[in-house]
Amino acid sequence: MKFGTKAIHAGVSPDPSTGAIMTPIFQTSTYVQKSPGDHLGYEYSRTHNPTRTALQNSIAALENGKHGICFSSGLGAIDAVVKLFNPGDEIISTNDLYGGTYRLFTKVFERYGIKFHFVPMNEPEKLSQYVNERTKMVWVETPTNPMMNIIDLKAMAAFSKKHGILLAVDNTFASPYLQNPLDFGSDIVMHSVTKYLGGHSDVVMGALVVNDDELASRLVFLQNACGATPGPQDCFLVLRGIKTLHLRMERHSQNGKTIAAYLKNHPKVAKVYWPGFEDHPNHEIAKKQMKDYGGMISFTLVGNKLEDAKKVMENLELFALAESLGGVESLCGHPATMTHASIPKEEREKVGLVDSLIRLSVGVEDAEDLKNDIAQALAKI
């Protein structure tokens, strides 16, 4: 099936008991058994739930994967991945990543003896210096949050396989519509389902997709044993959101291109970070591994003043000032004080995350209205 057909049909089927075309919300905590251990595949809803099963199958299909595993948040999914490892193990991570991931790595798992190396990944061969017998995984975001850096997935997969370590990719910014990391040799794909997969700013959820049966078994064990599982109503909402994922991503990408071009030519804007520009670092890699460039854009202001950034965001009307991204409505955020505040200032600035940087999640509204909104907000500084 092509992607649009998979979005609507993969992993789901009409309910056999009623013929309902939409997957029912199985709002139950437990299931009747004929005899101890003799059941219909469901015992307890932390372990399995039919609504969740349908969603997991759908997300796996969208990522061209075999196993989908859903969690109560994106961080819950990342938490399960790191719990695959033991004290003394080491993980190489990109140095430009979501602040919540950085916080989980440094404030939680470093306490238990797992070591993290935060390094740039524009040249994979340079990562060899961080590899030793304790290295277990490479953690990648591409495009990165919020600097929109592009990491070569094919090269990273070759590097990981050469050294016998796992490659995990946070694919949240791209969504399965724009990019499928498993196709390039990745072992684990992670999504904050909250974002583009849900698409309507009404669910918090995470997901992992893998092909390897043994790896899937270990992650499913952690999903059940640690209990960070989503409820059936949230799973139903994401199943509904996925049905329009291809339509939404087309419009997000279309609008993103329009807004990025407008910002690039604005006299009050210093830099625009969007992988669709030919002069964007690793643009050629983005062309090869992404279907389009999406609706995530970051930009800085001339003069790099925090007060100017605040004034712009306070005066935007259609772009709501809020955490998160990937919904149908346009959002703006200030990474230095919001999503990435947990990363020390000196570490943020090493990757270019300065105080005037504003991150946009361009929605599916009319692009002309969004452009006018940005114009009037920039006119206030």
Q: Catalytic positions, please?
A: 46, 98, 170, 195
Contact 332, 321 (CB under 8 A): yes
Collapsing DSSP to helix, strand or coil, 277 comes out as coil
E-state strands within the chain: 67-71, 90-94, 115-119, 135-141, 166-170, 188-192, 206-210, 269-273, 296-301, 320-321, 331-333, 358-361
155-178 b/e with 16+ CB inside 10 Å = b? bbbbbbeeeebbbbbbbbbbbbbb
CA 55 – CA 17 distance, rounded (Å): 19
Kindly report the number of other CB atoms within 10 A of residue 88's CB atom.
11
* Burial per residue of 272-294, b for 16 or more beta-carbon CB atoms within 10 angstroms, e otherwise: bbbbbbeebebbebbeebbbbbb
Tell me how far apart the alpha carbons of residues 135 and 140 are, in angstroms, rounded to a whole number. 15
For residues 261 and 266, give the distance between their C-alpha atoms in angstroms, rounded to a whole number: 9
DSSP 196: T
Burial class (CB in 10 A: 0-12, 13-18, 19+), 348: buried
**Cα–Cα distance between 276 and 227 in angstroms, integer?**
40
How far apart are alpha carbons 245 and 61 in whole angstroms? 13
Q: What are phi and psi of 320, to 5 degrees?
A: -75, 135
Q: How far is Cα 59 from Cα 36, in angstroms, rounded to an integer?
A: 32
For residue 221, the number of C-alpha atoms closer than 13 Å in the C-beta half-sphere is 8
What is the identity of the amino acid at 279? D
